[in-house]
Amino acid sequence: MSYRAPLNEMLFTLRHAAAIDAIATLPGLEDSNFETAQAVLEECARFNSEVIAPLNHPGDIEPATLANGEVTTSPGFRSAYEQFAAAGWQGVQHALDHGGQGLAKLVATPCMEMLHASNMSFALAPLLTDGAIEALVVAGSEELQERFLPNMVAGKWTGTMNLTESQAGSDLAVVRTRATPQADGSYRICGEKIFITYGEHDLAENIIHLVLARIDGAPPGVKGISLFVVPKFMVGADGALGARNDVWCASIEHKLGIKASPTAVLLFGDGKFPVGAAGAEEAGAIGYLVGKENRGLEHMFVMMNAARFAVGLQGVALSDRAYQKALAYARERTQSRDIAGSSGPVPIIRHPDVRRMLMTMKASTEAMRALAYFGAATSDRAAHCADAEERARSQALYEYLVPIIKGWSTEMAVEIASLGVQVHGGMGFVEETGAAQYYRDARILPIYEGTTAIQANDLIGRKTVRDAGATARTVIAAIRATEEELAARGGDDFEVIGERLGAGRAALEAVVDFVVQEFRNDVRAVFAGSVPYLRLAGIVLGGWQMACAALAAADELQGEGADRAFLSAKIGTARFYADYLLTQAPGLGIAVVAGAAGVLALDEEQFG
């Protein structure tokens, strides 16, 4: 089956979880209203269903290949990318000044979801380009922006993020790539970077690498890292392409999933393409400093933060794709009689445990989507709100949400894709069925752009302890207000949802208090519960969004011409989420507050 974008669900979420019409009142986002979003999403759904999605399974079978340092992408990818760029999809959320469409991040978010659901391997190139654009917008000089951004926004050039080295995985303090200043203000970059997504490919005419390196004589550790633009082909002041830069793809990885996405080992300054600087041809890739010396990690974090949000959205997208496939199979596969009695075998969707699995997939995906769209709207407020204090509050909230969106959504994607295989039974374990690809593709999500533990540590250290839990408590207060709405609404479903949400909120509140109070007393005990804290936050905030959706659906049911089947399903799905997923929250709270003794119980020698 091909991908079908869940447009009704997306539009409902834009309207209610993300309040898109309020976003369209912000300065500069007046065109990002519901009607515009609906038109954009409908065209985006058509494009992805017809052009991008059909390449997903073939790309898994015929992945990208490398020969003599040049990568050839999977059959059909190049043509699809040309269509993607020509249609302007890369520039949806980027500024008009750079050739973009100037729409809200909130409008771009469902477009990104559709692209990743259609073909995650393909979508990784635009994902990294978006992040590189953001980094240059925030930290790049006017000259660098004018030279590189228009063609990146147009999709003619793509962008990459070069952090990791073989001896420096997540620990960037030990980055060895070096940068030597040149008389003309450029730098010679020499070193090796690994795990570079779309570090080499044939989709676009140029690749703009953003590279972390250490300037000769820089301080040790993260305080001595700078950020550089290193193009595959040199770019003149007039934007014309010049000589090949000294960047060489030594190999591409053979991976468990996302096989059609070339993951490169790049050699900078290896001497394969000696290039002139001030008239002399010599080894060393030519790069240009982004921002200030020794502030590279700070500047690169703009790109990392954008990528982390986008990877969380990949979790939503892949979950929805796995759910669609499992649902279609459950409707057509007949096996065994109905336990309530039937004349013969029935479609397996009638079996209660298959229903439980499908409801888990559906409810989790809807909760993750709502939280991601809410996060996108918060980012738009942080960037565009006229009031400075409101911008600051929104930025703090967005930064609190990003590790949750990334960490929780990606962990859930693995579980949901696994359930998709389980719904298929033995056929799910057979590659030709297609369900296994989603499971394999999903497994990278909790790893790249910062593992779940890194997201959880960030949630504790930078996002909870740094402001003494103030932002977390703002969210908790909003959840409590939703509990009051549920209680006022009445009725069995809303009372139960409110009760479960209240228990989850209480567990989250206790954990925030524990983290803030114990951080200075026993930091190891706090970090022992970091991932359970992240999962708890995701489940509770997801439950909050599901509760809000149920309330909104109940209101819409009162109107004329309401889609009763869709809206009643929203309420029923929220009830399932409350009963089966929110009920996990109190146990996770106990694991955080009291679980360190078990985590730290054994000496290293006792792990035998």
Helix or strand holding residue 93 (H, E): none
Q: CA-CA distances (angstroms) from residue 257 to 16, 64, 441?
A: 35, 12, 4
Euclidean distance between CA atoms 220 and 174, whole angstroms: 8
DSSP 8-class letter at 422: H
Handedness of CA 583, 441, 170, 231 (dihedral sign): negative
Burial class (CB in 10 A: 0-12, 13-18, 19+), 21: middle
Closest C-alpha among 148, 154, 39 to residue 88: 154
Closest C-alpha among 509, 497, 492 to residue 549: 497
Task: Find the catalytic residue in 134, 200, 366, 449.
Answer: 449
Q: In 10 A of CB 84, how many CB atoms?
A: 23
Decide if 268 contacts 177 (C-beta within 8 A).
yes
In one-letter notation, the amino acid at residue 449 is E
In one-letter notation, the amino acid at residue 289 is L
Q: Is 24 helix (H, G, I), strand (E, B) or coil?
A: coil
Decide if 537 contacts 489 (C-beta within 8 A).
no
Residue 449 annotated as catalytic = yes
Q: CA-CA distances (angstroms) from residue 214 to 129, 209, 242?
A: 23, 16, 26
For residue 459, which phi and psi values (nearest 5 degrees)? Answer: -60, -40
Residues that are catalytic: 449
